[in-house]
Amino acid sequence: MILSTHAVIGTALAALFPSHPFLAFSAAVASHFLADAIPHWEYTIFSLQRDPHNSLNNDVALDKRFALDLLRFSIDAAAGMVISFLVASLLNAPLVQTVSIGVMGGLLPDALQFVYWKVRREPIRSLQRLHLWIHAKKHLANKPALGISLQIIISAFVIVLVKIIRSLANT
């Protein structure tokens, strides 16, 4: 999934626990792995150096391609943050707290992949194994329109579900 999708879903789930920051953060982190288990489209990481035999040996080159990747990641994450403010507002959740926790938790597993590629020590190694294990094996690499549409639908579904749960909890 793209970063903005993880940010939005993480924020929506964080809104379920407005007075429990640890639960909100945990829900946002868990949402990342659950979303990655669904077949999806994601853009190419130009600086990624894949090992076709063992994904744990993948690495990222810190060169011009990485600078371009960093720019794309920043734009994607910023878009996710902006949309997350709209989502938190729609859910009548505390804006800054919910968005901060939701975006950080939703993006953390992908950020830790970069740490893994350069450090390769525990507990990051075990987390990377989990990330690779849970990640969907079927990709929509050649179908960006379908992949982006599915991410919008999944995000909308989570937002509506959270809205329903929050309204039921307030009755």
pLDDT on residue 140: 85
- β-strand partners of 49: 59
Phi, psi angles (nearest 5°) of residue 47: -85, 0
Q: What are φ and ψ of residue 141, in 5° steps?
A: -55, -40
The pLDDT of residue 170: 84
Q: Pick the closest to residue 133 from 141, 125, 123 (CA basis).
A: 125
Contact, 140 vs 41, CB < 8 A? yes
- Mean pLDDT confidence for 8-15: 98
pLDDT of residue 144: 87
Cβ contacts of 71 within 8 Å, gap of 6 or more: none
Q: What is the mean pLDDT of the chain?
A: 95
Query: Can you tell me the distance from the alpha carbon of 13 to that of 23, in angstroms, rounded to the nearest whole number?
Result: 10
The residue written with tokens 């994904």 in the block is 55
- 73-85 tens-digit pLDDT: 999 999 999 999 9
- Identify the residue whose tokens are 């505390």: 94
Whole-model pTM: value is: 0.94
